[in-house]
Structure formats: structure tokens, C-alpha cells
Amino acid sequence: MDPGLGRVVRPAMNDDQLLRYSRHILLDEVGIEGQQRLLASHALVIGAGGLGSPVALYLGTAGVGRITIVDHDTVDLTNLQRQIAHDLSRVGRPKVASAAQAIAAINPDVEVVALQERADAARLAELVAGADVAIDCSDNFQTRQAVNAACVHHRKPLVSGAAIAFDAQVSVFDSRVVNAPCYACLFPPDHPAEEARCATMGVWAPLVGIVGSLQAAEALKLLAGVGTSLAGRLQMLDARTMSWTEIRATRDPGCPVCAAAHR
């Protein structure tokens, strides 16, 4: 079996784990059962950069049993301004290996599957099939569409985030929720937005931390069965004024991606 696929089987928590996760266990909404769900969960993180760094670290600290991280890139000096999973000693190393090392330094009990590859649509569909949640931390429209299509096909929740300059957005696309849109309902694949990249536009360093932390929070809620997700709501942040705007959206009956799946 591919090391990036499959469910995680965990025994009852030992004393060290009960202590490590005690602040989660003290929460009535989480408790022992919720933490056990996290320990038995498998999260797929696409991208190990600005958004993927806080996502991977918080999933690791929270005790998600298996974290598969996919990214083809290596750590560059310019990444260190915002990509907090990496440090100066790991410049030139694969980002997935650097992120795995950062997680292991905090929580060595977590199984990290580091895949240094540029995953195409077929590969993403394979990886999504074996995960409980997908967190899209990529930086390009094509990958976002491919991840969304795979999540719709396999009926897996998708936590999506994006950030550039001082502007960001975050949402959850979950085809299991009645009338909830998929990513393509809001951003049609045949109308690609103009790509904006950090190398040319710049990005305010804490912005990716804010959005990545929100993505991690939404993913952990989904895995632990806590609260209500952002499905059907797109939240947008203008960090210049630190103001949030929320747009509510429903499924597009003519969506080329999810309409057929709900007939």
C-alpha cells in the first residue's frame, strides 16, 4: 500500500499522551473521544510553504495520527520570512522533509509521510481517497481545482486557504453538507483567476500564519467532530485594516464539478 494512503489504527492513550493532550481533553466538546478521533485520523496537506507550515505544525501538536505532506519544492532563504516550519539550517532541503523534522521535534508520536513531488490530478485523487480531510495550502489555481475535484469525487472535506500581499481568504468545501458549494462553484475552472505569486506581489509575513492557523482549526474541528465548519461560508481578510468579510454561498446546480455528483 502507498505510504500516503490508509487509515490509522491507534490503541488507547498512554499516560504521556493523556498529559500531552490534557488541554484538549479538558474541553467538553473534545474530551477523550475527540482526542482519540484525532489520533486515529489521516490529514493530507498539499503544500509546505507559508500556509502549509502552520497547518502541519498545528496538526502535529494536536496529535493527528498521520499527516501526509505533498510539495515538490526545496527551502529557500526567501521562504524564511514567513514559512515557520523551516529554518536556516534546512535551506536547500526538501520542504516536506523540513516540515516533517519540525513536527517530529514537537511531537515524535505523529507519523509524517513526506512526499516530495508535484502531484497531478490523478495522484491527488489517489491521495485524497486515503485521507479523512484535505487541506489545500497550494499557491496555484490548477492544483486547487484538482484537489477540489478529488474531494468531490471521494466525498472528503476540503479546507481551502489563500493569501497574497495583505489579502486572504479561507473556507471549507464539504460535499457531505446539504447545499454546500464546492470550490468550483465559487471559482469556476473555466474562468481562472490571474495568478498572483509571492515572488512578484509580496506577502505580509503574519498573514499566512493567520490563515494557516484557521485552516488547521477547521481541519481539527472536522476530524474531532467539533462545532460547525465554514462550509457554505467564504471568509475574506484585509490585513491592512484587520477587517473580515463573510460571503455565504450555496451549491451551483450548474457546477461542472459537483453538479453530477449530487444528481
Residues 67/45, Cβ–Cβ less than 8 Å: yes
Which pLDDT value is given to residue 1?
40
**CA neighbours within 13 Å on the CB side: how many for 135?**
34
- Cell numbers linked to 214: 484557521
* pLDDT tens readout for residues 223-256: 999 999 999 999 999 999 999 999 999 999 999 9
Phi-psi region of 31 (alpha: psi -120 to 50; beta: other; left: phi over 0): left
- Cell numbers linked to 253: 446546480
Which pLDDT value is given to residue 3?
46
CA–chain centroid gap for 149, Å, is 15
The answer to whether the predicted template modeling score (pTM) of the entire model surpasses 0.85 is yes
The residues of the chain scoring below 50 in pLDDT are 1-3
Which pLDDT value is given to residue 9?
65
Domains, the chain, with CATH or none: 15-262 (3.40.50.720)
Which pLDDT value is given to residue 236?
98
- Cell numbers linked to 75: 527551502
Query: Which residues are part of the catalytic machinery?
Result: 198
Rounded Cα gap, residues 76 and 248, in angstroms: 38
* pLDDT tens readout for residues 5-28: 555 666 789 999 999 999 999 999
